[in-house]
Structure 1
């Protein structure tokens, strides 16, 4: 038996003893060393279930009933297939999203859009537990010299790096980033790793904007009645080449439309909690491209994310704390209410 957090419904996460996971062929059984939470987990805590298959069943995994969350985790390999990719004792990071490798999207390299895609910790039991079994194809080795605490941020950074790739950002462009929370910061780091850009970051005055400057923003603009004018004064009255909307706040896609140049590109990262109206007339008449982004491509994004964490101060800027699983509910509440500025990780051994 192992200790695990189990989600039963909104505001109902319990720490329980449950059976150890069964390792199937092609999987590695991991001792979980660090497991993180994100905005999706907070939404499920606050107003779910939406994504979690509770009561279920999930159409691909078949999972029904209480579920172990946690799709951001690293672990130590305890068991693996003989002759497989990993050996007992290796420290690995999980991408958590599982793809078939055979469908048309997978053959295109867009494994995050696999027709059979599912995610550990979102659609079936995940890493908020002492042990988890994960398909080997969704694991990569953690590089020597990278601490467990920083390696635990690799999956959400991979998501940010994928978003940066989806933005199409290129050297010399002007970019506006709306939202400097955790995901916005990961997207910022991803864009800075891909191109030399002039980057303006918009958010409420406070620690998030201060952090954005330290992470490489060219300038910051606090939200107030003069925000749009201040942004356009910085990037030029015609607007920015690209605008990334990473806040998910109501009305921000239309705000992005007002800040991008004719023929420019908007990347929508944030997920609003309610249906939004969009200025289609402006999109069409100004030939603005709108892109979206989902999860990450494990084979393309997870290794580079680990390297960024190894070679920069990003992890130290974003890591809030490492806590025992018993404190998951209180931290989900902090995240759901906007009281958490950085990333919290959990160590099931504590």
Structure 2
């Protein structure tokens, strides 16, 4: 079977790989129908290894590369297991947790002490068939198209961020950075009942998409100081919650100035270097700083699939579906060059 295999930074190959191993107890084999690409995949391709075990064996998965990428995948069950039967359509959470450690027992499965991820820590979904644990799979509603279902995993990450932000119905929320993760956060905030969602970015295309996803107000930060606008919108009270999704080094500093006394700043974007902020301001205005990573599969993935059953987010977010054998030229190259305008999906069963 064909697979997209990362060997080193800049070395991504379409290769023939053996069929996946026969499922063991608690596993099923999938025919992969769609795979979403994200910034993490591109970072591994352009500057890795960062999360992929290409040089050092992963301590939890036990894998030493090369690695098949793809952690946002959906498919059709080919072998009957304990929870699913052949023919079921399912979305994968991609993360694997033990279920027994203190974090898992608290429901923080994304922080499991032995956590690892298909497509980053071990071979993932950018291939035609894969064998995975049933516990990381959830059913796709019949009316949800494959393109829409392929957004379930990143949407679950966005919903986990909303959950972590402790946003309440009626809150004013600013999303600083309306890119890939920011878009899914906005969709989640809309579903959570935020009263006013303000999207801040410098890209007009992203801001237009943010408005379609549910942002009530959009701000081009290159032309307008977001503080002036948020202050005006809230009668100088500022935002109840500010979600920093851009990952820029001074993102926390930008977010804290938009947040009211007693409010919350949630950090989603991953800065590549040290961050700067004014600690005394956070302390004196009693602003909570929260963080979020990945998603809790059993809570957030079903919620994402339920939202996708109500909203066709693919029509707003997906730029193109490419065949697996064109993924490097048609998808990774555009994403690495910064010319991609939306989400790229891959159809592993299609040839160019």
Q: TM-score scaled to structure 2, two decimals?
A: 0.95
| Deviation of the 1:321 alpha carbon | 1.2
Aligned-pair CA distance for 1:304: 1.6
CA distance in 2, matches of 1:305, 1:222: 28
Secondary structure of the residue aligned to 2:78 is strand
Q: Does the 8 Å CA contact 1:32/1:73 hold for their aligned counterparts?
A: yes
Check conservation: 2:165, 2:290, Cα contact below 8 A.
yes
Give the match for residue 29 of structure 1.
Answer: 29
Distance in 2 separating the partners of 1:242 and 1:269: 13
2:320 corresponding residue in structure 1: 321
How far apart are 1:232 and its partner, in Å? 2.1
CA contact (8 A) 2:172 2:194 kept: no
Farther-moved stretch of structure 1 (225-234 vs 116-125): 225-234
Aligned to 1:155: 153
Q: CA deviation at 1:225?
A: 5.1
1:169 aligned residue (144, 167, 170): 167
Comparing 29-38 with 193-202, which one deviates more in the overlay?
193-202
Deviation of residue 49 (structure 1)?
0.3
The correspondence of residues 1-350 of structure 1 with structure 2, limited to 5 A, is 2-22=1-21, 23-81=23-81, 84-224=82-222, 226-227=224-225, 228-330=227-329, 331-350=331-350
Q: How many pairs does the alignment contain? A: 347
Deviation at 1:205, TM superposition (A): 4.3
1:231 deviates by: 2.7
Q: Structure 1 337/231 Cα, relative in aligned 2: closer, same or farther at 3 Å? A: farther
Q: Which runs of 4+ in 1 moved over 4 A?
A: none
8 A Cα contact 1:46 1:333, kept in partner: no
Q: CA RMSD in A?
A: 1.3
Q: Contact between 1:35 and 1:72, CA under 8 Å: does it hold in 2?
A: yes
Q: TM-score, normalised by structure 1?
A: 0.96
Provide the C-alpha distance between the structure 2 equivalents of 1:19 and 1:244, rounded to a whole number of angstroms. 43
Q: Give, in whole Å, the separation in 2 of the partners of 1:175 and 1:283.
A: 18
Cα deviation 1:224-249 (Å, max 9, x = unaligned): 25323223222332321110011112
Distance in 1 between residues matched to 2:158 and 2:165, nearest whole Å:
11
- Cα distance in 1, alignment partners of residues 135 and 28 from structure 2: 10
- TM-fit CA distance, 1:311: 1.0
SS at match of 2:198: strand
